[in-house]
């Protein structure tokens, strides 16, 4: 019975300290002691200034509440720990987000590749149409333009950037 009373008293003291510290205020009490005896632990604790972070106090209070409720000494019900199902749902949600990011980046790369391939195809198609149009001209018109029938593919490739320019441009 004494162990239970001691544990309950310890819990109440820890809970009270956590509540007091939670506000993150400065607690300074000066005890004017005329006797030469050493101050008690409570006096020493009350002299110390508290500058801890409030989030730390909230966490400590939460653990104190859980410990007290688990041991049966708390008059305040403990907050339940997350269940395995909650962890599974959180993992599933995170996995879904990561897969969505992965798929969206893959789609961006695929779309860029398709755009590039389509641009090359259009360029080839336009070059082919130009070659066919030049091939339809007779030799006299081609000579007036400044090249022969054997140069048609080369002229078209240079015009569409498929080959390096070798002819001088006259403007």
What is the structure's pLDDT at 16? 62
Tell me: pLDDT of 49 over 50. Answer: no
- From residue 47, how far is each of 42, 81, 157 by CA, in Å? 9, 36, 89
pLDDT digits over 76-130, tens only?
555 566 788 888 899 999 999 999 999 999 999 999 999 999 999 999 999 999 9
The two three-digit tokens of residue 141, written as one number: 């018109």
Tell me: pLDDT of 162 over 50. Answer: yes
Q: How far apart are CA 156 and CA 123, in angstroms?
A: 11
What is the structure's pLDDT at 168? 72
pLDDT above 90 covers a percentage of the chain that reads 30
Name the helix (H) or strand (E) containing 132.
helix 84-135
Does 103 or 3 have the greater pLDDT score? 103
Contact 98, 123 (CB under 8 A): no
Average pLDDT on 14-34 reads 50
Contact 64, 10 (CB under 8 A): no
pLDDT digits over 66-76, tens only?
777 776 666 65
Q: pLDDT grade, residue 131 (50/70/90)? A: very high
């Amino acid at each position: 019975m004494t162990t239970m009373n001691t544990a309950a008293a310890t819990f109440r003291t820890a809970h009270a300290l956590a509540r007091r510290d939670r506000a993150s205020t400065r607690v300074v009490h000066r005890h004017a002691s005329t006797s030469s005896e050493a101050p008690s632990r409570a006096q020493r604790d009350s002299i110390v200034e508290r500058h801890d972070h409030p989030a730390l106090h909230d966490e400590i209070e939460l653990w104190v509440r859980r410990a007290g409720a688990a041991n049966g000494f708390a008059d305040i019900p403990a907050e339940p720990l997350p269940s395995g199902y909650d962890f599974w749902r959180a993992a599933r949600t995170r996995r879904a987000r990561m897969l969505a990011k992965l798929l969206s980046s893959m789609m961006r790369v695929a779309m860029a590749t398709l755009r590039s391939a389509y641009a090359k195809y259009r360029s080839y198609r336009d070059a082919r149409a130009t070659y066919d149009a030049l091939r339809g001209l007779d030799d006299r018109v081609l000579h007036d333009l400044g090249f022969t029938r054997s140069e048609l593919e080369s002229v078209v490739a240079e015009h569409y950037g498929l080959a390096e320019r070798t002819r001088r441009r006259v403007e």
